[in-house]
Structure formats: C-alpha cells, structure tokens
Amino acid sequence: MPSSKPPSSSASPEQPGRPVAPEAPELIWLRPERTGRGPKPAHSRDSIAAAAITIADAEGLDAVSMRRVAAALGAGTMSLYNYVPKKEHLLDLMLDAACGEYRLPAEPSGDVRADLTGLAHEQLTIFRRHPWLPGLVIARPGIGPNALRYTDHFLAVTAPTGQPGGTRMEAMAMFNGFICQFAQYEQSAAAGAKWQAEMVGYLTQAAMSGAYPHLARAFATAGPPADPDQAFERTLDRVVLAILAPTR
C-alpha cells in the first residue's frame, strides 16, 4: 500500500511552496554520525556509549540517563541530543559497544563444537563484566556494526553444518538466549542468598507434598547442588548438540 505521507519534495498544503522535511530515520544506524559540515564534534558515539556503560556497570542500567551521561562527559544535557536523539538510541549504542568486546578470530577453526563452546565462554565473560547486559540483549535486537560482526562470525562457525541460513539464525537466538538466562540466574543467585535458600526449601516442600510426583522423583535423583560452572558446561553441551543436530 502506498504511503499516505506526501513525498519530501511536495509542498505543504498549509504553507504552499514550502518543502516538507524528510522524516529522520528511526534507527540510529541509519543516521550519519557526522554530516561533514561544521566544526569537529566535541564527542563521539563511542565516547558517549563508554560513559553510559561506566555508569551502568557501577549502578545498573536504571541509573543511565541522558543527564548522567552528559554530566560524565562535561556536556550539557540538551547538547547530547545532537549526538543521540533519544534514550533508546543510547541503549543501542551501549549494546553495540559491548558487542565490540568479543575477541573473534579472523576465521573459524572448522571445529564447530569447539568454536561454539569458545564463543559461549566469551559471551558469558562479557555478561559477567556487564551485569546489565543480558537483560538488554533480550529486550532489544542487536543490529549495530559490532553485533552484525558477531552474527556473521556465528554464521561462519556454523556453516559446516550445512543447515540453511534461517535455521542457523534460529540456532543463534537459542544459543544467545541460553547464555543470557544463565547469566541472569547466576546474578540472582549471587545477589539473593536468602531468596535462594527459601526457593530450595519451598521446592523441597512441594516435592514432598505428593502433589508433584515427577518433581519428587527428579529431586530424589538430583544429588547435591551443581557447581555453576559445571552446570553451564553440561547445559551448553546440550545446546551445542542441538545446534549440530540435522534438521528435519
């Protein structure tokens, strides 16, 4: 269906002869960082993202605001909007800057299982460095230059499986989702020892009630709580095996 908006070259009906300004792109990645005119900007997207990440690492994502970032840079809050038009753009810049921390090899080794395992550990390390990041990864799609670099690398790593590109994109979503959820659970367990103990007690009580026989049998054979790193390795191995499995 054709757009109901007039083309940018047409005249406004309210003000004949005055051209209608084209609508600015919603995605920050479609907006040029510099127009090439005027003096060199005092700040860059990289410096703005770095300042925001420093605040988020210290105080959490909720502490990040345009005012706080501007203060950290020694800039006026309103002047920051010349670089980052809105808060969502700032989050996109932060997400992509964090994606730039991946130490990706120039080429995959060809051992898909080993490469995926290494990539998972790399991602978990970044999530542990930035506790606010897993929630942002789940909430917002990463499509900036660094995120696309990661995506391209994942597709290169999984190319030997012979699976279609769409299937491998789905596999990447599953792979990233598992690591995000593990990192978030790890943070919750570390931050709430009392909550963790109460949860174990509650589930034990529920299993012993007789109302959940399958849960009771699972608890009876579960053994002591697993070491988090060992649990990550075991679950990661299952996720990788699922990615390697032939498609139906």
DSSP state of 19: B
pLDDT (tens digit, 9 = 90+) per residue, 21-70? 456 678 999 988 875 565 678 899 999 999 999 999 999 999 999 999 99
pTM of this prediction? 0.82
What pLDDT band is residue 16 in, cutting at 50, 70 and 90?
A: low
Calpha distance 21→11 (Å, rounded): 10
Query: What is the rounded CA–CA span in Å between residue 75 and residue 70?
Result: 5
Residue 5 has what pLDDT? 45
Alpha-carbon distance values, 220 to 199, 211, 216, 224, 225 (Å): 17, 15, 6, 10, 12
192 confidence band (pLDDT: 50, 70, 90): low
| Rounded-to-integer distance, Cα 122 and Cα 133, Å | 14
**Are residues 157 and 112 in contact, defined by beta-carbon separation less than 8 angstroms?**
yes
- 41-45, long-range: CB < 8 A, 24+ apart: 41/82, 41/83, 42/75, 43/73, 43/75, 43/80, 43/83, 44/83, 45/83, 45/84, 45/93
The residues near 243 (Cβ < 8 Å, ≥ 6 apart) are 112, 116, 158, 161, 171, 174, 175
Question: Structure tokens of 49?
Answer: 């993202």
Q: Is the pLDDT of residue 108 over 70?
A: yes
Q: What is the mean pLDDT of the chain?
A: 87
Beta bridge partners of 11: 19
- Give me 102's structure tokens: 């991946």
169 alpha carbon, distance to own chain's centre = 15
Instruction: Please tell me the distance from the alpha carbon of residue 98 to that of residue 113, in angstroms, as a whole number.
Output: 24
pLDDT at 87 over 80: yes
Q: Give the largest CA-CA distance in the chain.
A: 80
pLDDT tens digits, 205-224? 988 898 999 988 888 887 66
pLDDT in tens, 119-143: 999 999 999 999 999 999 999 989 9
From residue 200, give the alpha-carbon distance in Å to each of 50, 138, 193, 205.
39, 27, 11, 9
- Which H/E stretch holds residue 122? helix 112-129
Rounded to 5°, the CA angle 83-88-91 comes to: 85
In the predicted model, what is the mean pLDDT of residues 148-170? 97
